[in-house]
Chains A and B, each alone.
Chain A
């Protein structure tokens, strides 16, 4: 053995393969096996979770409804100058009559109408009305016949909207999601400030989330401090008081707050009984922002306490003792020695609470009334009630971007591997 090692400069395994090659082969096999173990889940998540998210990204810009329903009209409109202030020529009206005749038969014109109605109110009824009569049109002179059905066909605005949304991809939903619009006359601009509902909602979501995060720090810090400094036995017992709400169903906690905060509820009853408030001036604690902040602080508080606790447990008590032995007061030792070491825990907890909070839907919906709802509630409204899926998707994409930036930050600061549960 020693002889071969001396004669050949390359180390080999027993069967004569160079060691490096052999190791590389073994590593490759291990890598492949590791990947094989992960691949079922990877595939599963890609299909059941990632594909839906990508679909949503696509929906937020997708706009093939105009070019699909009115193919000939879209082609004919290419020759029309939308800033001329005049309606398009006869050839466009002729194309429209052919397109609409087919669309009315397949009943797709109403869908197009409601889609364009988001951009220009009145389009829905215009298309429905026209669809009913387009089959009985005579040959020739289509311009006049269309304007006869509805004068809106003679308005350049109608045609501008159709032309603007005839390309298969649109930024229209995103513009609507930030309360902006594009008009041929003025170009890109924000809506008047009293109509800016979405920017206002985003702002409120951020503001309430910051409030909730701050409340969680305020209430969570003393608890985490107490738990990490008590003897193990006592702190394990008290930890149950944190973990039980954490493990209790979200709906249960929300129902509890709904019951507690009502005007005829337990808190108001107690306050009246003590005499702090009169029976006729019961506090309005629910269906407003107060309700949302109280209930969500309660629900998210464990997410602040747990990371703070795990950081504080690692801080050695000798630092504080050293500071005090050198003459620092209790407060000075805490503020200059202990507190700076807990900042990573505050950061981790805050990002976690903030991420969870800005996407909340259930609790604001149930206890928030109209003034305490978040952007999520608006997304849900557009999916299930107004059926403006594109706008819902665009709002969702904006919210998702914010969350992903925070997720990235969290990964940088804490590391995804260090997420601990319970």
Chain B
């Protein structure tokens, strides 16, 4: 799949074309050289604004490569989710450059597998585990998560011998809202028919935006917006005009599991929405500004993330409704990593909701980071497109 014109200008005009992770690594290395400490993160529940307000750079840790799974399986059971196995494998083989740069690691109790894996990596770097409430609609959830965020603040202040001021927190909250607003405008170009933004560009923008501060990112995103607007004006679009539009939901994808996106494209689909923590999900909502209680505002904001570890996860359905209205997909693909019970079980609810509310078909793909099932997945995706009444 490609653009309908040759020589389409890239959105991020730098030397890292096709090397999104290297771009992020180079950014974090630059901050490190300026003397900023680094916090390694495993999940988008980590409160970025607090971390940044402490003058610390957040760095997403490696978790998407098949190659680190065999060494992990020397310790972890084979029937565990590949994301957890890969993360652990990166650490025991000392092959994650982000982990190498990290002074501390911040982790959340999203699922049992991760929680127990964190116990095995406590000896490598100072680790701060946050107890994530899983009934977000209950009143106590926000109070408890606020307390956890406050504790994390204490941990960062103590570790790095500094104070996090409320004023700095408030500034970071405002900065995230500016960033999310820009990101949402960018994603809007994927909502066009046919789309002007490719899934890979959306993915790469998301990856960079998780690491970079709004101050550093704003000129990049504004340039990307101008580039997209020029594309639109000159009739550039991505994929075949009549290609089935696909919304991909489910587990976080990256590295080797990006095969799911590639197969969908090779089968003739065009991906218009990435409903994953490594896609559009972290940029969807806004944080209350000037609330007088920035920690509580942060807690409320992060509890809006509809991870399948939450119950009952009505927000996932609500967010899907909004995504469907905006991106108008013809089909939804739910990508579930092997042994991710929460996303796997939730898939049934998603399927029924999509059928009843939107008359949209859902294809669930259960996969891992290997290439052994590419042809089987291809058959299912092709059959999904065959079954669309278009």
Is B truly associated with A? Answer: no
| Residue positions of A touching B, CB distance < 8 A | none
A-binding residues in B (CB < 8 A): none
